[in-house]
Every structure is written in structure tokens, then in C-alpha cells.
Chain A
């Protein structure tokens, strides 16, 4: 580190020796500032482009029917994607039933036994897992559930999505649990709570809004995933809420419609994408409001926790 500073000093001296004026050096700096402004603008442009196209392409096909009607064949006006919307919710429900508890448990472990070798391995693997291609999780669920059972099912899709959210929920839970004030834990223990009750009743309860937020963010991500569902949930043109049968999902429906040769189906793909994004935005907004509630809760708690120290 100090060698780098020395290097910077040496460069400054060298620049001075070359009679580069402060002016010239400042001009280079100004150029960099302009370039980073450009980078920021360029990075935001695709986002705006996508949102504008979604609104333009999707709004025209967006209607009440989309949420209540079943898909119609190509060329037949009307119809919706009620089965896909419900299917996505069921898939996400199965995923959270299985993924959130495991993730929260692992997060508690990481927060309480943070220093151990095992915890370091788990933390590292969780981070690595969250970067693996989601399609591999789909193939894993296919091999584990679809192949032995002989048919695609909502259950397999839910498990694939559940595996996807476990590492996300784990790491977020760990961060949230670490924020719980120690005096709170100590006072619970001092009052005679056993360790497990302290963790479940005091620590988890205090960290709950943060964990709910993290879970919602993870679930929102799972809701938009297509690749893990291709060979597990598979999609279904008909109404089905049976977890042992193939089930429709919004991202799968968008994919199928987008690649179809029919104009009205393509228009529905845009509408479906808009609905999917609205669903995800709704979850994120919910997550944010929960987080805000948590912050005010923590603010209310902090002074009391400090009082305990005195």
C-alpha cells in the first residue's frame, strides 16, 4: 500500500519534471470526469429503453382479461394468462416453503458460528452457488424428481427455484442477524432464556423484517427465472394447480409466445412481460416497505440497548 503511494508521489514528481503543468493534469482529470458521466448515462439508457418498450408493447395488450382468462389459440381475440400467473405463484410458493426455512437456518448458523471453519466453507459455497447457471439447477431437479417420477411437475419446478433462493436467503439472513444488538441477546439470556429460545424468539423476531425483505427479494428473482423451469414445471396450456402435474408459469409463457410466429401471441408476450415486471416490482416495493418498518423499529430500540450498557 505504501509502495503505491510512493509510486504516486514518484509519478507526481516525474510529471512535474516533465514540466507538465497542473493545468494539463487537471484537463486529464476533467476528461475522466466526463467519461464517467458518459458511462453512467450509457448504463442507464438500456434500462430506460427496455422499460419504455415494455410499456409501449405491453400496455396495448394489457387488459383485465389477461388476469382472469385462459390462453386463447392464435388468431382468436381475447384470452389471458390466468393459469400462468397462478402457476408462477404456486411455483414460488413451493420454492419459499422449502427454500426460506433452510436458508434462514443456515443464515442463523453462519451468524452464530461465524468464525468456525465450517461456517467459512458454507459462506463461500453459498456465494459460489448463487453465481451458478440456473439452468443447471433445473437439470438437477429434472434428474432428481422428473426422471424417477416419469413426468414433469410443479413440485420439481418449485424445488429448482427453492435451491436457487437458498444461498440468497442464507447470506441475507446472516447479515440481518448480525445487526441484532448484542445487549438484546444478553438480556434475554440473563432473563434465563435458553439459547434456542433466545435465537428463535428474540434474535429472529428482531431480524424478521430484514429477513422477510431478503426473502421477498430472492423470491422476486425466482419468479422471473425461466431456465430452471424448462424441464421441471414445463408449462401447461390448461388450468392446473396440482403440484404433481406440469404447471404453467409466466416466464415460460412469455418465452413460448415470443418465439411463436403469431403476431397476437407476440403482443401477449409483451403484455406478459409487463405483468411479470409488475409482479416483481410489487414484491420489491413490499420488501422496501418492510425494510423501512424495520429501520424505524431498530431506531426505536437502539437507545434502549445503549441504556443497558450503562
Chain B
């Protein structure tokens, strides 16, 4: 590589020194390291781009595979899948409405219980707790997220459900029995049990997102309110919470997404009955539990395809909830970063 391949110097001036800039695209030093310079870079770029592309591709593939497998059932049963109340495999009836209703009701119940607690924990940790307690409480609440779903189910089935059956349910019926949602035979395994277990399971997710979002509220926001004479509570109510609102909603939605798709723990405590519950004490069903119980032993193609349709519906619902949640959280973080 001693002679430049493209000589820009006019040939009529042989005295001009050779150009110090090597025109070759390949730098000399790469040979010393045994690399192949731009070629290696190209390979590297293609490989990491392929890894990155795999992620959106996976989502598309997931949707395509599930929809394709569900298609026969959608064609055969149509609206009955979504609005039918009878799930009878032997007679080819696949109405998933009880499972859809159970999924929504158990998740909403869980949100209803977990949201105030999680927001309380987040406010406690970010705004009010003594410094020493902050890390400890965060750590303990985060630990809840590390416990496997099946362990929650085990605990729910053998500890929580007996307590509900023997004391909580009779107690609720005695005191609040005038409300129809607190009536009925106390089986233990019920919508209430599922809602409680789900609430514990989604609490750490809502709490950690809320914590992040509250911490992202600029100091100036708090200081401005303090300067106007607000008390600590008024600072939180009037300056911090409104600022963080959409992110907090995002955190709650993220929890909702978790609750909707949670499978094992719910399967173990909800009672698995194909009926729309009219009381919190009634056993119910969820879409994920339906899949867990029946998918492995689906007897025929019709059944399998109907279950795929349920999976597809679950996928669509959780996808929408998660996208909305991420968008809301992302919006607050972006504003927080630019402030």
C-alpha cells in the first residue's frame, strides 16, 4: 500500500511530496489488532440491529400466530365467543363472557384495593418517610414482586382462603350483608380471594412506578408551593400529585395489565366456575385461568381454536392497557427530564 491508488497531484510536478493522507478506506492500524475494520463494524451493526429488530418482530409474530390459530373458532362461533355465557366443550359451546367478566372484575377489585395502598407507599417513600426507612420500605415492597406467582397461589389457597371462609366472609355478610355483593355461601375460593391476592401481587409494580414518577417531579415545583405558604400535605396535593398525575395513572394501568394476565395465583384461588359472579363471594373464572386449565388437555381442534381466541382476546386487552400505560409514564418522564 505504498502508492496511493488515486493520485490527485498533477503528474507534471514530480517534486510534490506524496500525500500524507492515505486514500484507502481501510485504516492501517486495524491490521495490528487482527480486526477487519469496516467489515467487522458492518457485521457488528447488522448483528445488533437484528437483535433489536427481533423484539418488534416477536410481537408481530405473536399476534399473527395466535390470530391464525384462533381464526377457525372466530369463523365458527363469531360473537358467541365474546358474548356467549355457556362454556360447554362437549356440546361445542364456547361462550367466554364469564371468563372475560371474571378477568375484568377481579382485576378492577385488585386495583381498587392496591391503588390507594401503593400511592400511600410511594408518597411515604418519596415525600414523608424518615431517610433511614425509605430504602428499607422500598426494598421490602419490591421484594413482593420477586415472589413467584405459584407461591402466591399456594399461600392464597392454604392461608388466605381458609381465613376468608371462616371469618372474613361471615363477618362481611353480618356487617355489610345488606349489599348484594357481600352475600352468598362462603366457599372461600372466590372473586374476593382472587382480588386480594392480585392486589398484593400488583402493589409493588404500581408502587415502584409511582415512586419513580413522584421522584421525577422537579424540586422547584415543591419549593414554589412551599413558598406560597402551603403545608406539606398541601404541597403534595396541589403541587406534586397534579404534576405527576398522568404518570401515576400510567403506573396504575401497568398494574392493571399485570392483574389481567396473571395466571397461576388466580387459577388457584378464584374457584374456576363458568358463571358471571353476582357477589364477591362467588367463584368465578378468568381468561388466563381458563387457558391454564384447559389448553393442555384440549380435546379437539374446535376447543383448541376457541382457547386460542381467548388467548388472542387476552393479548389484545393487555396490549392496549400496557401501551397506554407506557405512553403515560413515558410522557411524565420526558417532561421531567426536560424540566
Contact = CB atoms under 8 A, between A and B. Distances in A.
Interface of A: 1, 4-5, 7-9, 11-12, 22, 25-26, 28-29, 31-33, 35-40, 42-44, 46-47, 49-50, 53-54, 57, 101-106, 108-110, 112, 118-119, 121-122, 124-129, 131-137, 139-140, 142-144, 163, 166-167, 170, 192-197, 199-200, 220-221, 223-227, 230-231, 234, 251, 254-255, 258-259, 266, 269-270, 273, 276-277, 280, 284
Interface string B45-66: 1011111111110110110011
B40 A194 contact: yes
Interface residues of B, number: 107
Interface string B248-292: 000000100110111110001000000000000000000010011
B221 interface: yes
Contact of B230 (A12, A38, A57, A194): A12
Contacts, number: 308
B300 to A, nearest CB: 14
Contacts of B207: 43
A258 B153 contact: yes
B234 interface: yes
Contacts of A106: 48, 51-52, 54-55
A139 B121 contact: no
A29 B155 CA distance: 37
9 contacts: A8-B239, A35-B120, A39-B124, A47-B141, A118-B52, A122-B56, A193-B35, A225-B149, A226-B150
B308 A39 contact: no
B69 interface: yes
B174 interface: no
A199 B311 contact: no
A144 B65 contact: yes
B49 A109 contact: yes
B25 interface: no
B129 A5 contact: no
B30 A254 contact: no
B221 A5 contact: yes
Contact of A108 (B48, B55, B66, B155): B48
Nearest to B65: A143
Given A196-B43, A227-B288, A132 B322 contact: yes
A166 B58 contact: yes
Given A139-B308, A139-B311, A227-B292, A32 B236 contact: yes
A131 B224 CA distance: 37
A170 B52 CA distance: 8
Given A29-B233, A259-B268, A43 B117 contact: yes
B269 to A, nearest CB: 11
Given A32-B236, A40-B129, A44-B140, A284 B30 contact: no
Given A192-B33, A227-B288, 10 more contacts: A39-B121, A43-B207, A102-B51, A131-B254, A140-B65, A192-B32, A193-B35, A225-B149, A226-B149, A227-B263
B121 A134 contact: no
Interface string B36-48: 1110110111011
Given A40-B129, A258-B154, A230 B30 contact: no
B232 interface: yes
Given A44-B140, A106-B55, A144-B65, A4 B159 contact: no
Nearest to B127: A36
B315 A132 contact: yes
B148 A4 contact: no
Contacts of A127: 322, 326
A139 B295 contact: yes
Contacts of B292: 135, 227, 230
Contact of B59 (A129, A195, A259): A129
B47 A105 contact: yes
Contacts of B325: 131
A31 B50 CA distance: 55
B123 A36 contact: yes
A37 B124 CA distance: 7
Contact of B263 (A32, A33, A129, A134): A134
Nearest to B120: A39
A57 B158 contact: yes
B150 to A, nearest CB: 5
A28 B237 CA distance: 11
